[in-house]
Amino acid sequence: MTFGSVDRRRFIGTSALAGAAAATTVHPGRLRAEETVRIGFLAPLTGGVAAWGLPGLYGCEIWAEQKNAAGGVEIGGTSYNVEIVSYDNEYLPDKARTGAQKLISEDGVSFIEMLGGDTMPAVTPIANRAEMLVSTLLPSDLSPDTPFLVAPAEVHPIYNLTGVWWMAENMPEAKTAVICAQDDALGRPSVATYLAAFEAHGIEVKDTIFFDISTTDFAPVMTAMLAHKPDILCLDTAYAEFVNELCKQAFVQNYGGQIISCTADFYADIIANTSEEFMEGVIFQFPDFDDPALNSEDINFNDPNGFFEVYNERHPGQWGAVSWEYASILDLWLDGAQKAGSIEPAAVLGGMKQGGKGAHAFGEANWWGEELFGIDNALVGNWPVVQIQNGKAVIVEFKSIPEWWGEHSATMIKHFEAMGEMWYQRA
């Protein structure tokens, strides 16, 4: 029987060969890797805090795809494909607990990445029991009770001090500030950090205004801030849409001073809602990864410009503070696993912390945190200060957090204690 003018046997044979060739071409890694290592991603993918979860998952997927395309990752003589298993915790503790259970006992993950914050206390007992290595973006989750929890990407909110430090050096005329913050696990330690940094650099804080996380109208908050006629408006670690709304209100209420914020995610939208002139000079802490300063030899993140390009092709307009962070944690996890020669969580933790140093995205860094968090599980080194210039985020300088800590640690601890945010004060 013929298939048109083509013999059926020849057609099937040719198709099989073509299929095998296509598989070899498209997925070389899948053919070469011997096993699969699963990484859990347990963060808010929906809800109000999704902007600090979902863009990070996109980054991890790109990371895994690139590793798998290159033949997987080599750990202890075995080649592994990396599979990211995500679970949306909606930033709700109950969902986070369920997600952790599922990832550990059903999906068999070797490592879990989390945003942390309000969801971490629900996960900690499960992680401790299973001796599961977990990462957080928020070192304020760390305590001696969290031996398997690491904060290897960012030392939120400690790095916020670098922005204040740079501002004090470069804008000495700015002498007074007002801080506003949402009243939650992200906002409060960040306020303590900003208070310490402002005090250390001789800037008077006129007021600190907390607002509820359900706030939608920021006009009264901004009116209260501007009533003090500050030189600096500090937006603390406000959620992305809060920063946007606060800037809109500052613009409408004719504010003309300096703005500093932990993040300015989707800052193009903020400029569209205000003006390029208004946003000129705003200081924050998270660079775009097409920044030429990231091509320096000290930077450990692999091909930041290329990553940024792929990310924006796949997810236009979604680049934010966390887009690269979860992916950079995977780099550190991989480094730890390769040093340990194993994917076992406890061994990887040992590998990660070997020699007390780690290859942080922004350069060599130290495992630190005993004084502030009761455990040296935060990786701390240099952090960039970013400024909006002509409508674009630009790294103006990298500042050393350990250097600042060496001079002003007592001030920071004082404000953390006053805010009830030291590890021994938290429930």
Partner 1 sequence: MDIAVFLQTCLNATYASSYLALVAVGLVLIFGVMRVVNFAHGELYMAGAYCLFWVFYQNELPFFAGVAVAVLVVAAVGLFLERTMFRPMKDNPLGGLICSIGALLVLQAGAVSLFGVRKKSFAGPYNEAVTLFGVDALTISGQRLVVIAFAVILLGALWAFLRKSRFGWALRAVAQDPEAAALQGISISRISMLAMVLGAALAGAAGALTATIVPTGPYMGHPVIIGAFIVIIVGGLGSLEGAIIASVLYAFTHTFVTTLFDGTIADITGLVLMLIVLVVRPHGLLGKPERA
CB of 56 to partner 1, least distance (A): 13
What residues between 244 and 283 interact with partner 1 by CB under 8 A?
244-245, 248, 251-254, 266, 269-270, 272-273
75 is written with which tokens? 């750990």
Q: Where are the alpha helices (DSSP H) in 205-266?
A: 219-226, 240-252
One residue of 52, 63, 80, 211 binding partner 1 per CB under 8 A? 211
Q: What is the CA radius of gyration of the chain?
A: 23
Q: Where are the alpha helices (DSSP H) in 110-264?
A: 120-130, 160-170, 187-200, 219-226, 240-252
Interacting span for partner 1 (CB under 8 A) from 124-132, 220-228, 338-346, 388-396: 220-228
Q: CA nearest 111: which of 281, 311, 334?
A: 334
Geometric angle at alpha carbon 11, from 9 and 13, rounded to 5°: 70
One residue of 33, 42, 50, 60 binding partner 1 per CB under 8 A? 50
In angstroms, the Cα distances linking 339 to 77, 274, 289, 298, 347 are 12, 49, 27, 20, 9
Contact characters 292-331, partner 1, x per CB under 8 A: --------------------------x-------------
Does 43 bind partner 1 (CB under 8 A)? Our answer is: no
Q: DSSP character for 155?
A: -
Q: DSSP character for 252?
A: H
* Closer residue to partner 1 in complex, CB, 36/223: 223
Given strand 134-135, what is the order of strands in its sheet? 73-75, 78-88, 35-43, 111-114, 134-135, 149-150
Q: DSSP character for 151?
A: B
Element (H, E) at 331: helix 325-340
CB of 218 to partner 1, least distance (A): 8
CB 114 within 8 A of CB 150: no
One residue of 35, 74, 169, 217 binding partner 1 per CB under 8 A? 217
CB of 213 to partner 1, least distance (A): 9
CB of 418 to partner 1, least distance (A): 17
Contact characters 143-172, partner 1, x per CB under 8 A: ------------------------------
Does 215 bind partner 1 (CB under 8 A)? Our answer is: yes
- Contact residues toward partner 1 (CB under 8 A) are 45-48, 50-51, 54, 183, 209-212, 214-217, 219-221, 223-224, 226-227, 240-241, 244-245, 248, 251-254, 266, 269-270, 272-273, 318
